[in-house]
Structure 1
Amino acid sequence: MAASLSDIAERAGVSIKTVSGALHGGSARMSEETRSRIKQIAEELGYVTNLAARGVRQGWLPLIGVVADELITSPFATEIIRGLDGAARTAEMAVFAMNLNGTRDVASVLEEVRRFRPRAIAYAAMYHKTVALPEALVGNVGIMINCSEANGRVTSLVPDEESAAFEITRHLLAAGRRRIAFINLPGLLAGELRERGFRKALHEAGFAPTGVVPAVRRPIYSDRAPSLVGTHIDGLMNASERPDAILCGNDRVAMEVYSALRRVGARIPDDVAVGSFDNQVEIATRLDPPLTTMALPHRAMGRLAAEILLGEETVPPQTRRLPFQLISRSSI
């Protein structure tokens, strides 16, 4: 039979409350020596926490539930889950996710998550966007990750897109580039904010964009939409004032830009420098030359989300913008 708290208490000569405090972080006061002895006895007896019984006692299980808004379909946005899970494990918690996609609404997915009686619930999105949560569900979501709640009723952690674009544009300018074009992501909040930072950096330096054009033919960016990259590169490189740098909306666009520039005989970075966003490592490090790009703060958002969800203090809803990291390689 599995060892119980009473078995450990009897062996250690202490109360069950003291054992629970030592193993589960309860309120019982004890010396570190007593705590260590109880943990050693629990290990010797092969004690395993009965999560179901613990959940009944305290009203929740040591879990963080995630409503994953298409998150698990994205190879690099899963860094959010990794950051969340790492911080949760430190607090002896576990993370589980339920996928939200076009066939299921947020209410049904959230209800599924709540059945597991998690300590807290997060809503995490595949890409930076605004989400309008139904009024009845707002109180059930502790934090929004990689998205913001449309009415500001839930604390949100989002990437600082505008500052990232400002920083990498300044990096291009510092490298002596003056004629900078931007092949952007149409219809996305990230694209809108990045363009704002791009234009701001150029304006402050006394320059104008050589061009700002969409990466795809559709009004909203998708990596499956018909690409316009080749057409734009042909037009830019045949213009009287050719760009000496191209900023790309993401690393997939940068990959296309590399191919298109090579087709017209332009060398990277000698003739044209290339910068980007996301730091999809399997792309950025394998391009020749390796790509300079702004790394999304996904893992940092996950870690901070866990800290906020498990923290003792309750703070008013707010939006926190986390900085990207410039990953400097050989394309600039």
Structure 2
Amino acid sequence: MTSSLTDIAKRAGVSVKTVSGALHGGSARMSVETRQRIKEIAEELGYVTNLAARSMRQGWMPLIGVVADDLITSPFATEIIRGLDGAARASDMAVFAMTLSGRRDVASVLEEVRRFRPRAIAYAAMYHKTVSLPEEFADAVGVMINCREANDRVTSLVPDEVGAAQEITGYLIDAGRRNIVFINLPGLLAGELREAGFRRAMTEAGLDSGCARVLPAVRRGVYSDRAPSLVLSHVTELMGGPNPPDAILCGNDRVAMEVYAALRRVGAEIPDDVAVASFDNQVDIASRLDPPLTTMALPHRAMGRQAAGILLSGDPSPGEVRKLPFQLVERASV
């Protein structure tokens, strides 16, 4: 025979409301010890939540839905889901994601997510960008992760691109590098903000920001892994010219990998001749390069954890944009 909340309440000597709060992530206030004791009794009695009945009572299932804007295709951006899932499980919630791609529009995916009656919905993007939500769905999304809502109607968690670029550029300058070239990501918001931080750091160090060289990593107007690369030609020209750089800052770790290969082709040593630094900390690239790459780690997992807190608090601050700091990962390339 299946046990009930009443059975657990009798055994624990508490009210049914307290049991429900302990097991279902409700707002009932209780000590950690009481919550844990109730969970142990429920497990001992073999209690199984009737999700259908609970959904009818509360109007939602113990789920957080995620509209994944190409997120699942990124090997390192999945840290967002890991952070979100870990924090959600601590509140006895589960996370599910539905992918938004070129063949499915935002409205249709949001409608599909809502069919599962989740407690809350997040929108997560593979890379930092601005997203326009349909007017009728703006209130349905509780938080934007790694992106910003175009009309600032939804709380947004984004990486502090400007701050990260200032920090890594300052790190290169503190290491004695003065002639720094930035091979950046054209057409992307992250690239635009990182260039601003790079130029600011150069100016603050007394180096002429107007002369700081910023070059596009690809031939097309918008960066992508498939666009024709300009890295080899840039590095060949820079190192063969009258004013070769003593450091190259790269728009991401993939660009850095190309810079390594190009520097080797022209006979330059890293870091003795040229220091190399980057953004993203895509570990399968950065840690395996020779020498291992100094880079700025994106705050993906932290964004996921904070998003869960916002969604489960039930009281987000509409339109607030929170910038999360990167973490400098020092390796041997500087």
TM-score over 0.5 (shorter chain): yes
Equivalent residues of 1:210, 1:243 under 8 A apart: no
SS in structure 1 of the partner of residue 103 of structure 2: coil
**Secondary structure in 2 aligned to 1:111?**
helix
Specify which of 302, 305, 321 is matched with residue 303 of structure 1: 305
Q: Is the 8 A contact 2:23 2:92 kept in 1?
A: no
Correspondence for 2:117: 117
Q: Match of 1:174?
A: 174
In the alignment, does 2:67 pair up with 1:67? yes
Letter in 1 for 2:204: E
- 1:73-114 alpha-carbon deviations (Å, 9 max, x no partner): 000000111111111111111111000000000111001110
Give the alignment of 1:26-45 within 5 angstroms.
38-45=38-45
Q: Normalising by structure 1, report the TM-score.
A: 0.94
Give the Å deviation of 1:44: 2.1
- Aligned counterparts, 1:3-42, within 5 A: 3-9=3-9, 16-24=16-24, 38-42=38-42
Alignment of 1:161-240 (within 5 A): 161-208=161-208, 209-240=211-242
User: Residues 185 and 92 (structure 1 numbering): CA distance in 2 closer, same or farther, change over 3 Å?
Assistant: same
Distance 1:248 1:33 in 2: 50
Report deviation, 1:27: 6.8
Give the Cα–Cα distance (whole angstroms) in 2 for the partners of residues 76 and 32 of structure 1.
Answer: 34
Match of residue 90 from structure 2:
90
Contact kept? 1:68, 1:100, Cα under 8 Å: yes
Q: Which amino acid aligns with 2:220?
A: R
Structure 2, unpaired ranges of 5+: none
Matched to 1:41, the amino acid is I
| Separation (CA, whole Å) in 1 of partners of 2:322 and 2:168 | 21
* Mapped contact 2:152–2:318 kept (Cα < 8 A): no
Which residue in 2 is equivalent to 1:248? Answer: 250
CA 1:268–1:300: 2 relative to 1, 3 Å: same
Q: CA deviation at 1:34?
A: 7.0
Amino acid at match of 1:145: I
CA distance in 2, matches of 1:212, 1:31: 56
- Please say if 1:51 is aligned against 2:40: no
Instruction: Tell me the percent identity.
Output: 77
Query: How many Å separate the matches in 2 of 1:197 and 1:36?
Result: 47
Aligned to 1:103: 103
How many angstroms does 1:317 deviate by? Answer: 1.9
Deviations 1:120-140 (A, max 9, x none): 100000000001111111011
Aligned residues: 332
Whether contact under 8 Å (2:25, 2:91) holds in the other structure is no
The verdict on how the C-alpha distance between 1:9 and 1:311 changes in structure 2, with shifts beyond 3 A counting, is closer
Alpha-carbon offset, residue 35 of structure 1: 5.9
Letter in 2 for 1:216: V
* Partner of residue 274 from structure 1, selected from 273, 276, 291: 276
Q: CA deviation at 1:319?
A: 0.7
Aligned position for 2:127: 127
Alpha-carbon distance in structure 2 between the residues aligned to 1:161 and 1:49: 43
- Which 5+ residue runs of structure 1 have no aligned equivalent? none
